[in-house]
Amino acid sequence: MLAKNTRASVATLIVALITGLVVAFWVALMPAPGQAQSGDVLRLLSIKCLDITNDEGPFDSFDEPYIRIGGAEVWSGRSDSLRMKNGDVRDLTGVSATLSGQSETVQLWEFDGGVFQGGDDGPAEFSAAYTDGDERTANLTLNGGTYEIRYVVDRPPTPTNMAPDISDQSPAPGSRTRDRTPLISAVVKDAETELTQGNITLEVDGVSKPFFTYDAATDRLTYQSGRLSRGLHTVRVEATDAQGLKGSEAWSFKVIKKQR
């Protein structure tokens, strides 16, 4: 009895341990609160020159900053109209980047293109975090100049998964046909899932018809019916997407007598 209880306790411990490891694995994969995700959109709002204390010469009270995101230059203050002195603010509306990782590095550089300069100064940088729609600021000091960059990291809304759609039925719902062997067809498609024949079922007059064809390139289901009796006939098509959502459509048509 003791051995049996011991085996049960060990089995329970093993199950608990495996469950804990699985949960820990998924938690590790989930971004922490406030952590950016791939697909988030980093939008820069403005850059402000808070102070320039290390001017490069007696006639130079300006800096010529420029910004790189993920290694690509997205804004430049190197022109006469955009270079900056103390208190200047430049609007960065429209400067954005889609994050490809869990953070995006924003780098601030300062152009030093004179004859006696050894290269541009920088970078001073920060990693933009998910802001949940709120504005954030980052202060960067570069070669004696201090700048404030305002930014937002947005998360595009998750698309709502819709059930598969069935349309363009033939014979048309409510129609009449003199064809005793009509070709039954419909367009069956899903916005998120690439459907296959295995996702779809077809019934004619309440009887399952597994031997239909489905062309994934055109989303078209077709079924060549056998000889039907005159009168009302019903068709039902159901499709299930990868998330288990079901879409269905039922319609009827009538086979009528040929005119002589």
Q: What is the pLDDT of residue 23?
A: 39
Residues 177 and 231 in one domain: yes
Total tally of structural domains belonging to the chain: 2
Which range marks the domain in which residue 171 is found? 165-255
Q: What is the pLDDT of residue 169?
A: 98
pLDDT tens digit sequence for 5-54: 555 554 565 545 555 544 344 334 344 445 667 788 899 999 999 988 65
Q: What is the pLDDT of residue 120?
A: 85
Distance of alpha carbon 251 from alpha carbon 230, whole angstroms: 16
Two tokens, residue 15: 């199950």
CATH, residue 188:
2.60.40.1220
pLDDT above 90: residue 210: yes
Residues 178 and 201 in one domain: yes
**Which distant-in-sequence residues (6+ apart) come within 8 Å of 55 by Cβ?**
61, 144
Is 54 among the domain residues? yes
Please state the pTM of the whole predicted model: 0.52
Q: Which of 132, 154, 176 is the last residue of a domain?
A: 154
